[in-house]
Amino acid sequence: MKGGLEAVFLENRMTLLRFLRARGAGDAAEDFLQEVWIKASAGASGPIAEPLAYLYRTANNVMLDRRRAEVRATRRDTAWSEMAGDTAPAQSETQLIARERLAAVETVLAALGDRTDAIFRRYRLDGVSQRDVAAEFGISLSAVEKHLQKAYRALADLRERLDAE
Amino acid sequence: MAYVTDEIRDAAAAWHVRLGGDAASADWAAFTAWLEADPAHAQAYDLVAVADAELDDLPLTPAPPTPAYAEPRRPSRRAFLGWGGAAIAAAAVGAITLMPAGGTYEIVTAPGERRVIALDEGSRIEINGDSRLVLDRGDARFARVERGEALFTVVHDDARPFRVEAGAARLIDLGTIFNVIQDGDRTEVAVSEGEVEWRRANARVNLTPGMALSQRGTEDPVVTRPAIESIGGWREGRLSYSAARYDAVAADLSRNLGARVSLDDAAAARRFSGVIVIDRDPGVTLDRAGALLELGARREGDGWRLTVERGARR
């Protein structure tokens, strides 16, 4: 089954490179593509229903991981320079920030109303698929998408606000 | 920096939702085109995706089970009773201890040891070091993880779901590859393929690929989303974490290194996100882990200690 995935990967190299560049990979796109293959082949131990979609998703995650690493590095630098002289990068500081973020996220979700809040948690925290959430709440898939879109929009706005502080 | 309008932000959130659903390759191609259309698009999407991923670092609670939407899902049939006969074509050699009663037997691995058990119909269990599993000779679709860690690759059979017990939890496979850790009063399950139903008392959670559930003592379960390729990464010597408690990380290190790794109590509840790559040399691994965890590492008896005194080295 790895052979099948590899064939799809090789056939779609250019497509995936284009995607990686669109996601901001720049000149390093070839390197990221290597990483995509390593992760995709390591993660695929059974048959994959839609191999190309799976490769796209892996590529998307690789770029997300890189972006997150950049964010962490920036935060760490800021934390270090703000606490010049202190030797430990104070875990408690990080935990304090996490608590504040948690409270802010809870507030934002609550402000969206019970239904959106519940649908979002069901999907994102309980990990119920969008289709199954729709069935549970007795609404259409596109209605679920609307609720989730609203929640993600609010969370992205919150993150931007917190980061600007 | 491109200017990101409200419309672009809404569109980015919509894309993120669509890609989190059953996105086909055509959706991804359309997404590529959308990203290419305007640099502000990629910027807005990054913001949503990172905001979403960062939720993993926060101990948010799953949806409260209100009657409005949380009817417990019942298995459609009483499937768990009385089949047997399927023998275990065990590929295991070594410490298989027969237990006095019934058809069950124990498989114990030493710290640092690995073992693969082949069950019938192509299912198998990969067992990490310092672990104890109980299997049933009369029932090849059952396993109990008494201690340690195991990765299950289960060929699904609707009529005979594979069941795993770990601590007070019951796991029912719905067609699957999943990893189980049982460490003291902590149970952790991570699903890399298919679906697993986690049950404890009256609570049930369905876990789909990329989800992990961790539950300790009598606390509520916490669901996270580790990178899917990281699940069972111990087999390749990679331990991946997303906001994992340090004591869990130390337990993993002990299991994988074959040397006891203890941890200062003061650091037990700290949280770590990242990847620790296991080296054949425990000293190298501990130095690496120490640097990542921002702890010192020193020898202690036969094992190692991770300590909050940063300067401490071998």
- Given B71, B223, B229, which is nearest A39 (Cβ)? B229
Which among B3, B27, B31, B32 is the top mutation candidate for probing chain A, defined by the most A β-carbons within 10 Å of its own β-carbon?
B32
**What is the DSSP code string of B159-196?**
TS--EEEETTEEEEEEEEEEEEEEETTEEEEEEEEEEE
B280 Cβ contact list (under 8 Å, min separation 6): none
Q: What is the distance between the alpha carbons of residues B87 and B79, in angstroms, rounded to a whole number?
A: 18
- Separation between Cα atoms, residue B278 and residue B287, nearest integer Å: 11
Q: What is the pLDDT of residue B281?
A: 79
| pLDDT band, very low/low/confident/very high, at A157 (cuts 50, 70, 90) | very high
> Which band of pLDDT confidence, cut at 50, 70 and 90, is reported for residue A165?
low
- Per-residue pLDDT tens for B73-90? 333 322 222 222 222 323
The reported pTM is 0.49
Q: Test B13 with A153 for CB contact under 8 angstroms.
A: yes
pLDDT digits (tens, 9 = 90+) for B161-206: 888 998 888 888 876 788 898 888 888 898 888 888 888 877 788 8
Residue B247 in tokens = 């004591």
CB nearest to B32's CB, from A22, A50, A131: A22
| Residue A90 per-residue DSSP state | -
pLDDT: which is higher, A16 or B166: A16
pLDDT band for position A74 (cuts 50, 70, 90): confident
> What was the ipTM of the complex prediction?
0.90
Residue given tokens 């929009």 in the structure block: A153
Q: Output b/e per residue, B250-278; b: 16+ Cβ within 10 A.
A: bbbbbbbbebbbbbbeebeebbbbeebeb
Q: Which residues of chain B have pLDDT under 50?
A: 65-102, 312-314
Looking at A20-34, A104-118, B257-271, which range is the least confident one?
B257-271
To the nearest whole Å, the CA of A22 is away from the closest chain B CA by: 6
